[in-house]
């Protein structure tokens, strides 16, 4: 199959994202299907994106489809696994405080007993399985909570609040009493 013909039609449809922590090397002379040889003038003109551009983190693909209004919050919809080794996956849904389905909340510590706050375990979100990294403690809790059949709606602060969006974080943290008060069950 000739991929050089097919590739231009796939650009932008793969929903791939460059991690903000990895420097991106950009060259204005690089085109689809063209090759830049080592030592060429095109390679010498390449520049690394400045730190000021890299510091402006683009919106997460996980939260892009569920922007929050002031009277809304998100719930994680966990789906069943086909075995213990099946990845943890689900969707994130947006709901109004006054009209939402029954849901559960969790009470846990992000770092666990060891105080490990490093987000290293993947939660796959949405139809394209966008990755949302979680701490080991949060990931273990999700593995324990995912249903055998059906779905389970839960509110987890580390997942249901876009942690990189400071305005959203402040707004949602202020409403946590409401979120916990209106839930069906608090899992500890």
The answer to whether residues 10 and 91 belong to one domain is: no
The answer to whether residues 175 and 144 belong to one domain is: yes
| Higher pLDDT pick, 121 / 65 | 121
The answer to whether residues 46 and 134 belong to one domain is: no
pLDDT per residue as tens digits for the range 84-126: 789 999 999 999 999 999 999 998 877 667 777 888 899 999 9
CB 7 within 8 Å of CB 14: no
Residue 36 CB neighbours (<10 A): 16
The answer to whether residues 112 and 79 belong to one domain is: yes
Range of the structural domain that residue 145 is part of: 61-187
The answer to whether residues 24 and 109 belong to one domain is: no
How many angstroms from the chain centroid is the CA of residue 70? 21
> If DSSP codes are grouped into helix, strand and coil, which group holds residue 150?
coil
CA-wise closest residue to 132 among 174, 105, 164, 104: 164
Q: What is the arithmetic mean of pLDDT over 67-93?
A: 90
Q: What is the arithmetic mean of pLDDT over 155-160?
A: 95
Q: What is the pLDDT of residue 24?
A: 52
Helix residue ranges, H only, the chain: 3-10, 41-44, 51-55, 61-64, 136-145, 157-160, 166-174, 176-181
pLDDT per residue as tens digits for the range 6-34: 444 444 445 555 566 555 554 444 343 43
The answer on pLDDT for 4 being more than 60 is no
The answer to whether residues 17 and 100 belong to one domain is: no
Q: 3-state DSSP: the chain helix, strand, coil percent, rounded to 5?
A: 25, 20, 50
The answer to whether residues 129 and 114 belong to one domain is: yes
The answer to whether residues 47 and 72 belong to one domain is: no
Of the listed ranges 43-57, 117-131, 134-148, 172-186, the one predicted with least confidence: 43-57
Give 181's pLDDT tier (boundaries 50, 70, 90). Answer: very high
- Percent of the chain exceeding pLDDT 90 equals 45
The answer to whether residues 14 and 82 belong to one domain is: no
The answer to whether residues 137 and 96 belong to one domain is: yes
CA 55 – CA 58 distance, rounded (Å)? 9
Question: Of 55, 80, 96, which closes a domain?
Answer: 55
Instruction: Count how many domains the chain has.
Output: 2
Q: What is the pLDDT of residue 27?
A: 44
Q: What is the pLDDT of residue 49?
A: 40
The answer on pLDDT for 5 being more than 70 is no
Q: What is the pLDDT of residue 64?
A: 76
Task: Round the average pLDDT of the chain to a whole number and report it.
Answer: 76
The answer to whether residues 177 and 159 belong to one domain is: yes
């Amino acid at each position: 199959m000739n991929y050089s013909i097919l590739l231009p039609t796939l650009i932008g449809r793969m929903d791939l994202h460059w991690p903000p922590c990895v420097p991106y090397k950009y060259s204005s002379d690089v085109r689809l299907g063209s090759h830049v040889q080592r030592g060429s003038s095109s390679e010498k003109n390449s520049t690394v994106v400045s730190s000021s551009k890299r510091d402006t983190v683009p919106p997460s693909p996980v939260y892009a489809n569920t922007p929050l209004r002031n009277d809304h919050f998100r719930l994680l919809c966990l789906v069943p696994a086909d075995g213990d080794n099946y990845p943890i996956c689900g969707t994130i849904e947006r709901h109004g405080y006054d009209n939402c389905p029954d849901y559960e909340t969790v009470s846990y510590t992000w770092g666990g007993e060891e105080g490990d706050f490093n987000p290293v375990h993947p939660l796959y979100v949405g139809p394209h399985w966008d990755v949302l990294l979680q701490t080991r403690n949060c990931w273990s809790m999700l593995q324990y909570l995912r249903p055998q059949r059906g779905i389970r709606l839960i509110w987890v602060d580390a997942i249901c609040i876009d942690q990189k969006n400071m305005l959203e974080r402040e707004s949602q943290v202020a409403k946590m009493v409401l979120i916990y008060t209106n839930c069906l069950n608090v899992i500890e």
